[in-house]
Amino acid sequence: CPTELGYLAHWLRGRGRYHVSCPRLLNHGQPLGILARTTSAQLYQSAKDAFFEARAAARAEGVPLVIGGLSLGANLSLMLAAEFPNDVAGAACLAPTLFYDGWSVPWYHRLIPLVDYTPLKYFTYFREDEPFGLKDESLRGKIAARYRKASLRDSSDAAQFGYAHFPVRLFCEMRHLIKMCKRALPRVACPVLVVQAEHDDVTGPKNAQFVIEHVGSPRRELLLLKQSYHLVSADLERSTVAEHLQKFCGSVALPRSESPKAEPAHAKIAA
């Protein structure tokens, strides 16, 4: 299970008694050279492969399937919900990434649409800088200590701590994936929970609002966090996120006749 999702997975297994699977995004945790060659099509196909396994397990158990993800994983979950509407009972989107408009995003990130059409993207990397998506100063300090020692050739800790450097080539591929996700939103029919940090350093509240306004689902919930940054699943309010995620999973798992009938189309919850 990816480190940033470990807390939520443990909570849902222990307190919610749910079967939880946390597939890692394709090539994430691998050496930078391998990660950089990952395409948007490969990312989505790997997500579909993991989805097919989860769907088969849910069918075998006779239980509903709720999917979700963090950041780019949230986008992939929405795309899967759009493509397989009859198989998804709910989608939980943590810090969805449609616009890189957070307060810590460097100005040169806006040049990616231009770099995408040049060979420069194959040789350029961004170095991650504080706050690393974390308001939790203790966790942030541990990441900073690791990243200070990191080099382009050494990504041995990537599976546990993420990457100190990120290939621009992959940002270009993510840009294409974001376009695909935006086009898919109107076809999302299942209940949707969006978790968004009000002061997200990478992707601001505009991202959550865009999802809420464009999904086709009649049931849309927004949990707005005030003491977290981008990694909402691991930051200071992770227990709040876990509680709401458990509640969301429980509500969409109910038979239709038992589901809350007075649920508003758009519920906004501030934490």
Average pLDDT, the chain: 89
| pLDDT tens digits for range 215-251 | 999 999 999 999 999 999 999 999 999 999 999 999 9
259 pLDDT higher than 80: no
| pLDDT tens digits for range 140-188 | 999 998 888 876 666 666 667 777 888 889 899 999 999 999 999 999 9
**pTM exceeds 0.95, yes or no:** no
Give residue 264's pLDDT: 46
Could you give the CA distance from residue 56 to residue 202 in angstroms, rounded to a whole number? Answer: 35
Q: Between 40-61 and 168-184, two packed helices, what is the crossing angle to 10 degrees? A: 50
Please enumerate in sequence order all residues whose Cβ is within 8 A of that of 191, keeping only pairs 6 or more positions apart, or say none: 89, 90, 91, 217, 219, 220, 221, 248, 251, 252
Q: Note the maximum CA span of the chain.
A: 56
Percent of the chain with pLDDT over 90: 67
- The answer to whether the bond into 218 is cis (omega within 30° of 0) is no
The three-state secondary structure class of 151 is: strand
* Tokens at 176, concatenated: 């294409």
Domains annotated for the chain, with CATH where assigned, are 3-270 (3.40.50.1820)
Q: Are 206 and 104 a contacting pair, CB within 8 Å? A: no
270 pLDDT higher than 90: no
Give residue 156's pLDDT: 63
